Amino acid sequence: MSEQNNSTTTVVTTGGKATSAPASNYSLPSDVTLKHASKLSIVEDKPIMLDYWTASLDKKALIGVRETGEKLLVKSEDEYTSPIAKFYKSNSEYIIITENSIYLVSSEIPTRKIS
């Protein structure tokens, strides 16, 4: 349960204690995308990861394509995923399945050759 205030969001935890975090203006993945990702997570037995979500909205993450054609989600030279096995487009998002996880990113994420 969360309650939107002017500049912070109050989040009530299961322990009953409220904590505050800065409110952001980031959009969330659509309900349809979250439902599809949930189904894939159950079938594939993989966690849904959102750690590339805001970076994809900010264009700070990209889909890197190696010379071999292998594709990865990349945040930096040191931070990237295992190779991408499958892509699904849902609304304005991509559901990306790697060897270990399912990632949700904006479909506006750039693609670039990497080495």
Local structure of residue 30 (DSSP, 8 states): P
CA distances in angstroms from 82 to 53, 60, 71, 73, 110, listed in the order given? 16, 18, 9, 8, 18
pLDDT of residue 3: 42
Average pLDDT along the chain, 115 residues, taken 10 residues at a time: 44 49 78 98 98 96 96 95 96 96 97 93
Q: Return the pLDDT at 68.
A: 96
The reported pLDDT for the residue numbered 15 is 53
Phi and psi based region of residue 86 (left: phi greater than 0; alpha: psi -120 to 50; beta: remaining): beta
CA distance 109 to 106: 6
Q: Residue 89 has which token pair?
A: 């487009």
Rounded Cα distance between 110 and 93, Å, is: 13
